[in-house]
Structure 1
Amino acid sequence: MAVNHYENFPVASILLPKRLRRAVEIIYHFARQADDFADEGDLQNEERFTALDSFRNELKRIAANETPLTPLFQDLADIIARHQLPLQLFHDLLDAFSQDVLKKRYANFDELLNYCSRSANPVGRLLLHLYEEATPPNLKYSDAICTSLQLINFWQDVTKDYAIDRIYLPQDEMAHFGVTEAHVADSRVDKEWQQLMQFQVQRTRDLMRSGAPLGSILTGRIGIEMRLIIAGGNRILDKLEAVQYDMFRQRPMLRPFDWVIMLGKSAPFSF
């Protein structure tokens, strides 16, 4: 996922089989453009919804076996037919981006998980369909990995999200640890903030671990790709801990040396 929601998206990775790279790129461009409709520029909310609805209408044309109006969706129709991709997963992504336009706070973790089930999990499910590995156990593992990656992105981007009036930290958990929105507004890293973020990071790490068997189930280059994605997410969590959860001043990012560490941790897992 290259930016925002898609910082860990394996776009045209050299590890992806060549036969799948075009399909992955098309899915990425769909998600990237739709995400931009919800986030970027100075559009009014109604304009954002109109743009997202234009994507929904194109999906309806595909469902009706009609020719889409735009090149992106003509390409999308081709890969959907070629790989028998579920249309609902694309609708789920659009629903999540529409939610981003209006919903700025999350009362509890269940609300956040519900959002992740539409903003992140469809991407992993689409990839499994492309790989022809979309078994029920694999889908469950993938959901855990994708939700973890989405949460990691939230914890990285607390400052960036607050700049557009979004806080993804569950409000009930903020209150439990004595954290208020003033902590975010003031970039305040005190004991209360560190305890809250320690809790979030550990839960995210546990969730990632629950999906990690997928890295061994998938074989060949696809398996290596998945293990690198998992290692990358865990590396960001390590960096958050290392800076004592001060992502305000030291946003954790993957750098060249991190890839050496990640490669070392990407041997097939043993369970």
Structure 2
Amino acid sequence: MTSLPLPPETEQAYRDCLAIASRHYENFPVASWLLPARLRRPVAAIYAFARRADDIADEGTDDASTRLACLDHVAAALSKAASGGRLDDDPVYIALGDAIQRHRLPIDLFHDLLYAFRQDVQQTRYRDFGEVMAYCRHSANPVGRLLLHLNDQATPDNLAESDAICTALQLINFYQDLHSDYTERGRIYLPQDEMAHFHVSESDIAARHSTPALHQLMHHQYQRADRLLRAGAPLGGRLRGRMGLELRAIVVGGARILHRLQHQRGDLFSRPRLTLKDRLAIVRGACLPSRRH
């Protein structure tokens, strides 16, 4: 990584990306104060890029072909920015291009994200858990891998544990958004074969029926996400400094949300919100990595 001073236009572009990140509520931190200061701007640029592509896939009333054409435009703009070019002086691509070159980020990881957004446009059902995992490999895992590259910690073991964490967090988001994904986007990320095995129908999701069968199905999903989160958790203890602190906070935050999902007795479709007690637990878990979460 080089330490070249930023031109004013690039500095402003990073500020714009930080503003984009700050406007969107997330259960998991985005470019938070826990991150090393040198990483907050590139993380915000990555987030702003992903946010834009995600909005193309999910928001508005455009048909599928229009959305895919727009995502192709994003892919072309990404490649141009990564090679040092610019597109209409767009602050997101100005900042992202600088981050990619300054931190030598693999551009393939950004194209993996775009692959997942295209998949969201074209695919609304997943035959089995293998297909869900393949989706997570493109939609979630690249973010953790980019963070490791930013921190010069992209070793094979670190990448594998990061993938486990990111996949777990993606699954937890699916479980939080079970009803809204169906009603607003027509998507179900639960494996179809497991829905059939537990005798859960799409009409149960449409009507927000928290049936005993759905409880059994979701308990199975929660257990799997928990195993993945625990498998990746050692990475937070291995990374040093503020990066490790940030990752431990993310893992504990994910575990707290999963805990709340697991203990929903009535409505399986309500999205849990972290309380002050939860946030204090996140701080404690981040600062005390030797404790079990």
AA at the equivalent of 1:95: Y
Partner in structure 2 of residue 102 of structure 1: 122
- Partner amino acid for 1:261? A
Q: Secondary structure at the match of 1:14?
A: coil
Q: TM-score, normalised by structure 2?
A: 0.87
Tell me the equivalent position of 2:237: 216
**Greater Cα offset, 42-51 or 226-235:** 42-51
Match of 2:264? 243
Tell me the secondary structure at the aligned position of residue 16 of structure 1: coil
The residue that corresponds to 1:83 in the other structure is 103
Q: Is contact 1:128-1:139 (8 Å) kept?
A: yes
Tell me the CA shift for residue 6 of structure 1. Answer: 8.8
1:171 matched to 2:196? The reply is no
Matched, 1:22 2:18: no
Structure 1 position 47, deviation (Å):
1.7
Distance 1:242 1:218, change over 3 A: same
Structure-2 residue corresponding to 1:146 = 166
| The one of 5, 10, 19 aligned to 2:29 | 10
- CA distance in structure 2 between the aligned counterparts of 1:199 and 1:245, rounded to whole angstroms: 17
Q: 2: distance between equivalents of 1:191 and 1:153?
A: 22
Structure 1 residue identity aligned to 2:59: E
Please, which runs of 5 or more residues in structure 1 have no aligned partner? none
- The alignment's C-alpha RMSD in Å is 2.0
Please say if residues 213 and 269 of structure 1, whose CA atoms lie closer than 8 Å, have aligned partners that are also in contact. Answer: no
1:46 aligns to what? 65
Q: Structure 1 residue aligned with 2:80, among 61, 71, 76? A: 61
The answer to whether the Cα contact below 8 Å between 1:157 and 1:247 also exists between their aligned partners in 2 is: no
Q: How many residues align?
A: 268
State the partner residue of 2:140: 120
Of stretches 52-61 and 166-175 in structure 1, the one that deviates more from structure 2 is 52-61
What are structure 2's unaligned runs of at least 5 residues?
1-20
Separation of aligned partners in 1, 2:83 and 2:44: 24
- Taking structure 1 as reference, are residues 245 and 99 closer, same or farther at Cα in structure 2, changes over 3 Å only? farther
Report if aligned partners of 1:197, 1:245 keep a CA contact under 8 Å in 2: no
**Cα pair 1:56 1:91 within 8 Å, conserved:** yes
**Quick one: structure 1 residues 54 and 192, their matched pair in 2 at CA, closer, same or farther if it must change by over 3 Å?**
same
Deviation, 1:9, is 4.9
Amino acid at match of 2:152: E
Percent identity, aligned pairs only? Answer: 53
